[in-house]
């Protein structure tokens, strides 16, 4: 009899979220607590682009912070590449973020005392990468800032600062990229150029992208949309 074909290896999802909830104490609430997100369940396949949308105050940014291990849930679990991030202590979660995550914030979060090159070099240096300068220079060139390496954030426009933030997020080639309203601080034209660049970089590197946005046009560019209302997926 012919030998049977070997079993295919199990596919590990990039992100697995199970029964995720976050409550905070609130004496004015009927139960003495306020629920920000409640019983969230979803799975994201590697390489997928996902938009999280919803009204202001619906829990979008809280959910993203929980996915990244920047906040702690009241109940539930989050697995990144099969690893339960809340089974780790705070230092363990920080190490996981360093290895697996890139993050783009609405407010850029650049370090004002470092120039553009130094901001992009920083995550590489924290990894002990001996090629940090060369990789950072190359990445800043890729986002169109090759002539602005020595400029400090206060001398860069909002669009340029967000391009530095994109370079910093992608320079370590993370398998996961989280973005929280990345165009929220930019005018429409600048925001369009930045979001187009972000999707181009993501396609080039094959990252899994999870993007919080209030913009339906940006959400439509993603392969999948998750809508959150009053802390629940709908």
Q: Are 155 and 188 in contact (CB under 8 A)?
A: no
Helix (H) or strand (E) holding 133: helix 132-142
Instruction: Yes or no: say if 223 and 52 are a contact pair by the CB < 8 Å rule.
Output: no
Average pLDDT over residues 196-207: 91
Do the domain assignments include residue 159? yes
Tens of pLDDT along 40-70? Answer: 999 999 999 999 999 888 899 999 999 999 9
Structural domain includes residue 200 = yes
Specify if 15 maps to a domain: no
pLDDT at residue 229 is higher than 70: yes
Task: Reply yes or no on whether the pLDDT at 156 is more than 60.
Answer: yes
The mean predicted confidence, pLDDT, of the chain is 90
What pLDDT sits at residue 33? 82
Report yes or no on 177 lying in a domain: yes
Q: How confident is the model at residue 31 (pLDDT cuts 50, 70, 90)?
A: confident
Q: The pTM is what?
A: 0.87
CB 33 within 8 A of CB 9: no
> How much is the average pLDDT of 99-115?
91
Q: Kindly state whether residue 191 falls inside one of the protein's structural domains.
A: yes
Q: Do the domain assignments include residue 29?
A: no
Can you give the pLDDT at residue 22?
94
What pLDDT does 173 receive? 92
Q: At what angle do helices 116-126 and 132-142 cross, to 10 degrees?
A: 130
Question: What's the structural domain count of the chain?
Answer: 1
Indicate whether 150 belongs to any domain. yes
Domain of residue 189, CATH code: 3.40.50.300
- Residue 15 parent element (H or E): strand 15-25
Q: What angle do CA 228, 202, 179 make, to 5 degrees?
A: 35
Q: Which residue has the higher pLDDT, 23 or 12?
A: 23
Q: What tens digit of pLDDT does each residue of 62-96 get?
A: 999 999 999 999 999 999 999 999 999 999 999 99
* Residue 30 confidence (pLDDT): 75
Q: Which domain holds residue 217?
A: 46-70+90-233
Give the mean model confidence (pLDDT) for residues 179-193: 90
| Residue 124 domain flag | yes
pLDDT of residue 28: 76
């Amino acid at each position: 009899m012919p030998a049977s074909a070997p079993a295919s290896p199990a596919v590990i999802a990039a992100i697995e979220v199970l029964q995720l909830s976050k409550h905070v104490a609130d004496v004015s609430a009927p139960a003495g607590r306020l629920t920000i997100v409640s019983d969230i369940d979803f799975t994201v396949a590697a390489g997928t682009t996902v938009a999280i949308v919803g009204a202001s105050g619906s829990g979008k940014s809280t959910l993203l912070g929980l996915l990244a291990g920047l906040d702690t849930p009241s109940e539930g679990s989050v697995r990144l590449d099969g690893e339960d991030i809340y089974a780790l202590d705070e230092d363990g979660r920080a190490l996981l973020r360093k290895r697996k995550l890139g993050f783009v914030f609405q407010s850029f979060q650049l370090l004002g005392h470092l120039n553009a090159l130094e901001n992009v070099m920083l995550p590489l240096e924290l990894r002990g990468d001996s090629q940090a300068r060369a990789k950072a220079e190359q990445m800043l060139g890729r986002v169109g800032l090759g002539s602005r390496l020595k400029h400090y954030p206060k001398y860069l426009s909002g669009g340029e600062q967000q391009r530095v933030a994109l370079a910093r997020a992608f320079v370590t080639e993370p398998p996961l990229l989280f973005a929280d309203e990345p165009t929220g601080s930019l005018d429409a034209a600048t925001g369009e150029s930045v979001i187009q660049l972000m999707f181009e970089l993501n396609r080039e590197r094959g990252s899994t992208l999870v993007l919080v946005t209030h913009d339906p046009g940006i959400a439509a560019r993603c392969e999948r949309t998750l809508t959150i209302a009053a802390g629940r997926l709908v």
